[in-house]
Amino acid sequence: MANTHTQIHIQTVFAVQDKQSLIKSEWKNELYKYISGIIQNNNHKVLQINGMSDHIHILFGMRPTQSLSDLMKQVKQDSSKWVNSRGFVNGKFSWQAGFGAFSYSRSELAPVINYIKNQEQDHKAVTFQDEYLKFLKEFHIEFDERYVFKPVL
């Protein structure tokens, strides 16, 4: 798009189906590289990716050539297929429906990158559910707590 100038920084957060702790340390870096490749192949720029055994955080610079929903759908579908094709889990691996997305200015990137890098340390004191609810409240996103982590039946 000629003469289109943007600076869009998004952190997405999403969980393993039913918040199961399926992402193992032995293969999580491979998963992160695979997901980074999906995002980069769609012409976006990954700034930081990390997570825990039950969820993931991705901070990236987004180009306005694709909707966020389409990108996240592709990331989740393709990475689920990748995990399953490698037999990393017993049974079927999938991500929970939906995701959280939070936008940041350039001046906020360093602390967000640090936060994502330090997931293991942060989650010694805070659960994923508490972390996610904090994001929703800090960003003034309306939600019904009964449905935020509702398991898919």
pLDDT block averages, 10 residues each, the chain of length 153: 86 93 96 98 98 96 96 98 96 94 97 95 86 94 80 47
Instruction: Give the pair of three-digit tokens for residue 40.
Output: 């980069």
How many separate domains does the chain show? 1
- CB-based burial label for 18 (10 Å; 0-12, 13-18, 19+): middle
pLDDT value at residue 144: 86
pLDDT value at residue 43: 96
| CATH number, domain containing residue 13 | 3.30.70.1290
Instruction: Give the pair of three-digit tokens for residue 29.
Output: 């870096």
Q: Which helix (H) or strand (E) holds 81?
A: helix 68-85
Question: Domain for residue 72, yes or no?
Answer: yes
Q: Which residues lie closer than 8 Å to 65 by C-beta, 6 or more apart?
A: 1, 43
Spatial contact of 96 and 152, defined as CB atoms under 8 Å apart: yes
Residue-number span of the structural domain to which 137 is assigned:
9-144
pLDDT value at residue 152: 45
